[in-house]
Structure 1
Amino acid sequence: MEIERLEEPYSISFRDPEWLLTHHEGLTLENVLEYFAESPFWDPQSNNEILKMQTKFSTLNSLPDHSPPLDIT
């Protein structure tokens, strides 16, 4: 995992080459939340975490037609 810090505090980027190497399909709509959850920017209290947990055990690990979940409030 690489966290690049430039001179500007708002110029921090995240890249995890090892994760990308183990997922030969690359980043997809089905795995992007899993990838981003590994970054220091991930907030476990966010709607993204709720979405990730709602899709964790589905057969394709994605939402049908990429529509929003039914109950994020």
Structure 2
Amino acid sequence: MSATIISYVPDDAEVRDIAIQAKASHLYLIQHKDGGRAVLSPIVPAGFRVLMDPDSERIAKALEVAA
């Protein structure tokens, strides 16, 4: 069994920086359905919702425009 590493997103993080990190590392930006902190994870556990999918074409295009 392998461990899943979840990285907490700092409160003062810029959305663009988090999106770049998530895309480069192939991680989802997720949040528990009850709210709380956003985290980066390679999987989406039960009870979490996806805020950003690293494979999203929309995110890729937004990052190109922002660069």
Give the alignment's TM-score, normalised by structure 2.
Answer: 0.37
Task: Point out which structure has higher relative CO (alpha carbons under 8 A, 6+ apart).
Answer: 2
* Bigger radius of gyration: 1
Structure (1 or 2) with the greater strand fraction: 2
TM-score normalised by length of structure 1: 0.35
